[in-house]
Structure 1
Amino acid sequence: MQYKGLGPKFGSEKTLNIDDGLDNISEINMRLEFLILQNLHNSQRTYLIQFDQLDDNYTLYIDNRKFFEALISLFKVIYALNSTIDSYSSKAKIIGYLRSDIFYQFSSHDPDSAKFDYHTYHINWAITNKADWANPPLLQLINARIENSVEELDGKSSFFYIFNRNFIKLYENGKLIEPFRYIIHRTFHRPRDLVQFCIKVKEQAEVMNKLDYETFKAAEKEYSSWLIDELKNEISPVIPATDTLFTFLRTLGTKPFTSEQFKKNFIGNRNKNINKSPQALLRYLYELGIIQNINFSKSRVEFYSIIRNEKSSYEPKMKAELHSGLIKGLYTFRE
């Protein structure tokens, strides 16, 4: 067993051999639990035991029944151990991190997992309405990241100090736009997307020796290609012909399309090695965030996306459009 301890000013890592030659997994688990509780007994220190990267192999399974059985079993153990640990120490907790779309599927595999809801904290990074733009968690996160890297900058305004709209002058739909909004509109509202876009800007700024509109546009191409590669890894177990899929998506263009137009393009391009019907593919692309619904009313344009509402679903009666973060990558993509 390997564990790592982290704190504000120090960290420690240690490897322990805890099996003592035991070949029964139940006995090994009992020994591990004993060691944890022994360390917690009468301790005034704070302990946080974390299970992360639990979704790393999720996309490798077409039949994911075994995956969910193992995952739900782990969370039941976490649930039970937290109850036990509470009697030993009030400063210790076991936490499991999991994507919300996977967590929401627990109930369809095990009705008893509903009890987890009362012990779950949902982190929603999505910016869903105008009020959210004032100081969204994604902005707070990137400001904290910059502040930890550059001591001279104040965390509350560090992003806007570096990415000054008056110097960069980015435009969207003919209007000047804040760099933060411009970036977020091209992400899936995930921290790693935001950080990756900033990394690409930094790389291009070093190459071009400037930070302006052209730097951002060059960085956007690199970021968009990265995002497509990310999606390829997730899609490939379901649709192995990912190159064919992204070549087809490029034919959709940048304008909104109907489900009938999508079907016509799909059949016309002879995408036989994409193993889904046009209707099923539309639903799947929506679930991935690759497309979003768009509704034109008299007073405004409304967007519906699983990125902003993870419980929403594709509506075939509405038009749809490609996610803007993919556009640059699709037009530089080569089979």
Structure 2
Amino acid sequence: MTLNPRFVLSALGVAFTAYLGLGWPWWDDGFDAPWTVTVFAVALYLVTSWICIFWEGRRERPAPEEPEDPAIAGSGGRVDEDTSTVAVQSFMTSGVSGPTVAPAWVAALALVTAAVLPSLIWANVDVAARQLPYATWTIGAIGALMTIVVVRRRPVVACIGIVLLGLQGALWIGLVPTLSLGLVGSAMWTAVAQLLMWSTDRASRESMQLERLQRAASEWLASQAGRQRERRVQVRRALAVAGPVLTRTIAAGGDLAPHEREMARLAEGRLRDELRGRRLLDDDVRGVLEAARQRGANVTVLDEGGLDGVGERELRVVRAELAEVLRNARSERIYIRTAPHDTIAVTVVGRSRADGEDTVDLWQEIALPSREH
């Protein structure tokens, strides 16, 4: 069974405030405060404390994150362009599992209680009894309340509350007795609470950063594994395409017959196509490329990322149109190129020599199907 951190903190807060509010020795001899005042003071303190503990507030404003490690980012890990806007939610100190920022009216209620409660008690007891436990319980009680306010991320309000408590104590019983009867401890509680919040927030940010670095490293390793698989596939295809020709070339010592040289040229073209423009290829495109080379054309296929993010259905449309363009092409040199563009998927350019001049006799742009629909 896993305990919710917020549940544990809330239970401790309720138990401690209940002890301070109800456990003070009101039964001691000499207690002379009116019961109505006492009941009102205790009720005000408990209600305020428990509202500060349980009233849900807004989530803490996300803190900016540090950029990812450049070494990992440069190795293939995915990094957001603007990491300063990434939300950092501390598991232990904000959100569902921890304290949220107290609403302004809750903080104001706590401050009013700190400003009213000690004077209310001291004003209703004799001067000689103002340093007795049943009259000074408010010093520790307000200290605990301000500690809760700090945990609810209102440290300025807590500091003001401690100052108000000290001023009231100095006014009613003197500064030295106030310090000796609990003001120092109350101030220390709030200070330690703030230090703990800072330390847990820092630990949470570092934990989140470590998690991001681990995620980036995992993504990099996954990408490397994918590239290795892709390279193995390409090597197998290269061996299937060029293996027989290479074997024949080695066996013949490079002395190939004319038809064997033609086979080597075609195999080289097929291999280049597989390595440079695999996403453009299917059986129809491979067939028309082979036919173009067999009639003597010099064909260059180059994919520079223009088809990244294009789905398989859209790729089939692009390949079908490319095959149709190449089937009708009669150019001596054909260049097929993809590049990142908003509307164009593939550009086909054909050049031939006519009357001693090099002219463009084919220019075809194939649009991105996803943009058309």
Query: What is the TM-score normalised by the length of structure 2?
Result: 0.18
What TM-score, normalized to structure 1?
0.19
More helix by share: 2
Q: Which has the larger radius of gyration?
A: 2
